Amino acid sequence: MSGPDVPDANINGYSYDDLMAIVNFLQSKLVSLKPKVAIICGSGLGSITDIIENQISLPYEEIPNFPVSTVAGHGGCLVFGILSNVPVMCLKGRFHFYEGYPLWKCCMPIRIMKLLGCSHLIVTNAAGGINQNFKIGDVMLIKDHVNFMGFAGNNPLRGPNEERFGTRFPGMNKAYDKDLIKAALDIAKGLNIEDKVHQGVYASVGGPNYETVAELKLMQTLGIDAVGMSTVPEVIVAKHSNLSVFAFSLITNECVLDWDSHKEPNHEEVLKATQNMEVVLQNFVKQIIEYIGKITCVCKQ
Ligand code: HPA
């Protein structure tokens, strides 16, 4: 990466010009395609890209200065194309704090999305259900979040602020677009999955270990419905970049809130739960993009 030495690993190492160089590279590969909606595929949810038409897929390793993801179930490429007649881009394989990346690096693709012209971001993740009404395979539309990583001082916006990306002190009380949540609830009805779709509060932890019973009980007391190891830093950067955000969690495991339980969460269980919901979620995302296309007239010119 060009630019001055990074004084602290927590302080953004990508300058505006560094990101523009990546954007120029991507645009040279995309010819006339201008993505309007961006999607981040969570653990095991990469098959959302299967329904994208006229795909251009770029492995992260082939994009100069792009990080490379290291987790099983994360594909590791940017996929561009058309979905519901809307030009889209997909981050197939996200970057997590627990992999060792600083948060500014985990979230750099969000700024790339914005600089490429996206107006909306759809974030998906796998999460543990804390809310006792949630079952494995349910979907939680995120209406708000608790940033536990931020409580510990880990924030992707830490460091000097680049005004060309956004304001120093962004509000976060309207991080999740209410209109898109409402539309998604209607779409769920149309797909006959309204019993499986809830709204709730997502909390992000650093991982990679799953939570202790005491930690989960604390979260339950705080009114948190689901917990995971991603999403919140990305949403913070998206809101800083003035993107409209819609996010949902696929509940892949029930959090163990009982000290006497013999159950233990594991990554295989998480991936299995996502496989069972692949097709339904493809349709769900497709229809949300169709809705965004309609309200913003961003359909393919
Ligand atoms: N905790 C944290 N992250 C997760 C979980 C969980 O139970 N399930 C999937 N991602």
- Dist. CA 220 → ligand 1 center (Å): 14
What per-residue confidence (pLDDT) applies to 277? 86
What per-residue confidence (pLDDT) applies to 273? 82
Question: Is the Cα torsion angle 96, 98, 100, 101 positive or negative in sign?
Answer: positive
In the structure encoding, which two tokens stand for residue 285, read together?
A: 């995302």
Q: Quote the DSSP letter at residue 194.
A: G
Closest atom of ligand 1 relative to the 126 alpha carbon = 9
| pTM summary value | 0.94
pLDDT in tens, the chain (301 residues): 544 454 455 567 899 999 999 999 999 999 899 999 999 998 878 889 999 999 999 999 999 999 876 665 555 999 999 999 999 999 999 999 999 999 999 999 999 999 999 999 999 999 999 999 999 999 999 999 999 999 999 999 999 999 999 999 999 999 999 999 999 999 999 999 999 999 999 999 999 999 999 999 999 999 999 999 999 999 999 999 999 999 999 999 999 999 999 999 888 888 888 888 889 999 999 999 999 999 997 655 4
CATH of domain 32-296: 3.40.50.1580
- Dist. CA 128 → ligand 1 center (Å): 4
What per-residue confidence (pLDDT) applies to 4? 46
**Nearest CA-CA partner of 103 in 65, 64, 149, 66:** 149
* CA–CA separation, 94 and 109 (whole Å): 9
What per-residue confidence (pLDDT) applies to 139? 97
What per-residue confidence (pLDDT) applies to 46? 86
The H or E element spanning position 180 is helix 178-190
Mutate to test the pocket of ligand 1, among 74, 124, 232, 252 (most ligand atoms within 8 A of CB): 252
The pocket around ligand 1, CB under 6 angstroms, is made up of 126-128, 210-211, 227-229, 252-253, 255, 265, 270
Tell me whether strands 197-204 and 77-83 are parallel, antiparallel or unpaired.
unpaired
Q: Helices (DSSP H) in 31-162: which residue ranges?
A: 103-106, 108-116, 148-151
